[in-house]
Amino acid sequence: MTLKRLWLIILVLVTVIGIAVNTLILTFLTDQNFSDYLNESYDLHVNQIIDYTSTALLTDNVSYEQMAIELEAHLSDPIVGIKLYQPDGGLLVEVNSDYHTDVSMMNNMMGSHSMMGSRGMMGMVVDETTEEVNQFEIVSENEVIAIMNITIHSIAENSFVARRFKEALLFNSLYSIAIAIGIAIVVGVFVSYKMSQSLKDTERLASDIQLGKDSSYKSTSIKEVNAIRESLMELDGRLRLKQKTRKTLIDQLVHQTRTPLTILQSHIEAIEDGIIDANDKELQVCQNQISDITSIISNMSSLIDAEKESDELRIETFDIGVMLKQIQQGLMAQYRKKNIELNLSSTQIIRITTDKYKLSQSIYNLLTNAYKYTENNGQVKISYIMVEQRLIIKVQDTGIGIASKDLGKIFTAYYRSQHALSEKGDGIGLYLVKENIEQIGGYVNVDSKVENGSTFTIDIPIKLEQE
């Protein structure tokens, strides 16, 4: 059974039960009050009839025909007949309601036909037994001047009006139940459609995540469904992060390898062309590039176990100026394509002890972003300084800048601001910068304004102690 059908059945059942209970209680109370009303109405009519009859009998100018006309006005259910007798038994006035007259005539007719079936006879007997005659003496000055017989239904609840009222109440209750069920079905179908649609959208979201498609969802009014979707999106983020991390590491390794390879290639070509001599200094530069390539390739072991949470640090001591110079030379050819100046403004020798690969990867990512978002003929500057046993590295550009509302989000995995959508990317570069710098005991922040460029600052300890 589908959730939609189950919800609809439950809603209809609850509605029917609720209305049925309410109808029973309301019917009981209404019927009780109506019966009290009929009894009070009967007592009032009897008092009025006796008062009128007593007055009329003591008045000489009121005929019996006039009395009959006046008494007919009081033939109101449950009163069906009035007979006025002299004290000696002589009939003075007799009035009957049409309903009672019709019933009496039918009873007489039924009684005269002995061949009528028992079922019809029983029906008439029931009608007769539901009536009774109440006798009242009309007294004047302690003398009985007349006797009045008032024929009524035996109880108010059996009166014609009462039966009609009960029938109307029953039918109205049934109509109310039918209308309420109809409304419940319409509301139930609408609500169940919304619920089933939300669940179908959630199922589609889970399917897209399983197939690796780009996923997104719209918030619904159902908190539980939103919670499930948020959990799915969080799971999707983690899965994408693991997948992207492997790809990003490979991409970073390729880019990092390109830097020393470019330097090495340029030096070899210069030696072959006779532009520079193959002396010890140049050979040492080539040897340094080969060492950097070896170090970068050694980090590929982290790709073997993609689920490995910990990333072992490879701490070594090196000159930050030399490393930045190598990165600058490796990116120079790319920067020339947009005629962007890439300057290394600091020249002091500062030796630091940290993970060279993670630091170089972070700086490379910052410089790659600076290249992407800086227009032609722009400028990117690298500087560094030591302050109280900490190394401060700054990467400044004259690019498009970052909106203030995005500054707190750019280091989040896969986040891309509106200004960055014009360039290709997956929004993971700055996230890796933050992760790498924090792993080597530092932090990174940014200062930027739209159309005024950006300044990224890396702050790390001069000497990282291995735990």
pLDDT of 118 reads 30
Provide Rg for the chain, Cα atoms. 52
- pLDDT tens digits for range 228-248: 767 777 776 677 777 766 665
Per-residue confidence at 124, pLDDT binned at 50, 70, 90? very low
Q: In this model, does residue 293 exceed pLDDT 50? A: yes
Taking the C-alpha atoms of residue 217 and residue 202, their distance in angstroms, rounded to an integer, is 8
pLDDT of 288 reads 67
How much is the mean pLDDT over the chain?
75
**Amino acid of residue 359:** L
Percent of the chain whose pLDDT exceeds 90: 18
Position with higher pLDDT, 334 vs 307: 334
**Which ranges of 81-151 does DSSP label H, i.e. alpha helix?**
98-112, 118-129
Position with higher pLDDT, 127 vs 346: 346
Taking the C-alpha atoms of residue 332 and residue 318, their distance in angstroms, rounded to an integer, is 22
Residue 185 inside a domain? The answer is no
Q: Are residues 273 and 417 in the same domain?
A: yes
The answer to whether the predicted template modeling score (pTM) of the entire model surpasses 0.85 is no
Q: Are residues 282 and 368 in the same domain?
A: yes
Q: In this model, does residue 113 exceed pLDDT 70? A: no
CATH number of the domain to which 170 belongs: 3.30.450
Residue 120 inside a domain? The answer is yes
- pLDDT tens digits for range 69-92: 888 888 876 788 899 898 888 898
Taking the C-alpha atoms of residue 418 and residue 400, their distance in angstroms, rounded to an integer, is 12
Residue 195 inside a domain? The answer is no
If one counts the domains in the chain, the total is: 2
Domain boundary among 165, 180, 195: 180
Residue 210 inside a domain? The answer is no
Position with higher pLDDT, 123 vs 282: 282
Q: Are residues 164 and 45 in the same domain?
A: yes
Residue 436 inside a domain? The answer is yes
What would the mean pLDDT of 301-325 be, rounded to a whole number?
73
Residue 224 inside a domain? The answer is no
Q: Are residues 416 and 293 in the same domain?
A: yes
Per-residue confidence at 144, pLDDT binned at 50, 70, 90? confident
Bridge pairing between strands 390-397 and 379-387: antiparallel
Q: Are residues 12 and 157 in the same domain?
A: yes
Residue 197 inside a domain? The answer is no
Per-residue confidence at 121, pLDDT binned at 50, 70, 90? very low
Weakest-pLDDT range from 108-112, 251-255, 424-428? 108-112
Q: Are residues 154 and 267 in the same domain?
A: no
Percent of the chain whose pLDDT exceeds 70: 67
Q: Are residues 176 and 307 in the same domain?
A: no
Weakest-pLDDT range from 234-243, 261-270, 407-416? 261-270
Residue 59 inside a domain? The answer is yes
- Burial label for 130, CB within 10 Å (0-12, 13-18, 19+), is middle
Q: In this model, does residue 454 exceed pLDDT 80? A: yes
Q: Are residues 149 and 43 in the same domain?
A: yes
CATH number of the domain to which 448 belongs: 3.30.565.10
Range(s) of the domain holding residue 373: 231-461
Q: Are residues 23 and 148 in the same domain?
A: yes
Q: In this model, does residue 407 exceed pLDDT 80? A: yes
Q: Are residues 175 and 235 in the same domain?
A: no
pLDDT of 120 reads 31
Structure tokens at 280: 């010890």
